[in-house]
């Protein structure tokens, strides 16, 4: 039986624009789905905030998405996935997908030396969410490193800047030519720094969980028979909590997403 939920939108959220990389992959893989994207641009960054506040923000946004009639919640933010995924799951009957498991799956499939570097915000690294998930899969060497300066560098479009290369060297130089052959980019901003990370670490497998996450979303919708039955391209609605001057530009740079209309939702 086709439930009325089939044509309901998927709710995707992040602390800001970074989650648009996940949005883009979902859109590519599932063109017929409707999507509501929320970016908490007023309160970004989450990465240096307390667990208490990250949980509060996550609940407010989830409740907002539920009130918009979504059929699934995708937490397209590593920090929220690390700190508040279980809380969101416990508070809603809807299926909830985060980015940690998909990232770990991809890393485990690629590492030959069973040695993985995880980089992320302070909150993500301090939560050990990736380490704990990797440990459930077997015996792997894991090193975790917070790289808090990467987020503002990306926001400032310092992608190719020598300051970014220097900071990447400071954070990651010690792992060059080490046993670690795979690195998980455990933050939505970091995929933009792929080139500089590759240059710093030379031969390394770089895992960006956005594609794996989109595959998870598709599989879960299929398993739950919740996928859209429409044969028309789906619509997308974008919400932010504050409209920064450069939001459109950042959205385009992050995800190649051209946004024509943005709605404001304040808490």
Just list the catalytic residues.
Answer: 77, 187
Q: Give the residue from 255, 123, 265, 229 showing the smallest Cα distance to 186.
A: 123
The reply on whether position 228 binds ligand DGL by CB under 6 A is no
Of residues 111 and 129, the one with the C-beta less far from ligand DGL: 129
Tell which positions 137-196 bind ligand DGL, by CB under 6 A.
151, 187-189
Q: Is beta strand 182-186 parallel, antiparallel or unpaired with respect to 205-207?
A: parallel
Of residues 16 and 102, the one with the C-beta less far from ligand DGL: 16
The reply on whether position 216 binds ligand DGL by CB under 6 A is no
The reply on whether position 14 binds ligand DGL by CB under 6 A is yes
The reply on whether position 75 binds ligand DGL by CB under 6 A is no
Supply the minimum distance, in Å, between the C-beta of residue 84 and ligand DGL. 12
Supply the minimum distance, in Å, between the C-beta of residue 18 and ligand DGL. 4
Cα–Cα distance for residue pair 252/234, rounded to 1 Å: 19
The reply on whether position 209 binds ligand DGL by CB under 6 A is no
How wide is the angle at C-alpha 146 spanned by C-alphas 144 and 151, nearest 5°? 140
Q: What is the largest CA-CA distance in the chain?
A: 57
- Per-residue mark of binding to ligand DGL, 104-143 (x: CB under 6 A): -----------------x--x-------------------
The torsion angles phi and psi of 155, rounded to 5 degrees, stand at -60, -35
Q: Which of 12, 20, 44, 217 binds ligand DGL (CB under 6 A)?
A: 44
Q: Which residues make Cβ contacts (< 8 Å) with residue 123, sequence separation at least 6?
A: 46, 47, 48, 49, 51, 54, 79, 82, 83
């Amino acid at each position: 039986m086709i439930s009325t939920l089939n044509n309901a939108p998927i709710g995707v959220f992040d602390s800001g624009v970074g989650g648009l990389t996940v949005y883009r992959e979902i859109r590519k893989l599932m063109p017929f789905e409707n999507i509501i994207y929320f970016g908490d641009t007023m309160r970004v960054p989450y990465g240096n905030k307390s667990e208490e506040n990250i949980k509060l923000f996550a609940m407010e946004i989830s409740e907002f998405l539920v009130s918009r009639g979504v059929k699934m919640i995708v937490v397209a933010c590593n920090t929220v996935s690390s700190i508040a995924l279980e809380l969101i799951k416990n508070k809603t009957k809807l299926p909830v997908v985060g980015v940690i498991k998909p990232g770990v799956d991809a890393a485990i499939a690629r590492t030959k030396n069973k040695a993985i570097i995880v980089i992320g915000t302070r909150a993500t690294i301090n939560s050990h969410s990736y380490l704990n998930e990797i440990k459930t899969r077997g015996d792997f060497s894991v090193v975790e490193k917070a790289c808090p300066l990467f987020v503002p560098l990306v926001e400032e479009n310092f992608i190719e800047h020598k300051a970014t290369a220097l900071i990447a060297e400071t954070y990651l130089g010690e792992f060059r030519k080490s046993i670690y052959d795979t690195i998980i980019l455990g933050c939505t901003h970091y995929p933009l720094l792929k080139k500089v990370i590759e240059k710093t670490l030379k031969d390394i497998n770089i895992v960006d969980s956005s594609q794996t996450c989109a595959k998870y979303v598709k599989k879960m919708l299929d398993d739950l028979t919740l996928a859209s039955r429409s044969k028309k391209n789906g619509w997308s609605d974008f919400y932010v909590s504050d409209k920064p001057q450069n939001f459109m530009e950042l959205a385009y740079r992050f995800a190649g997403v051209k946004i024509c209309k943005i709605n404001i939702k304040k808490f």
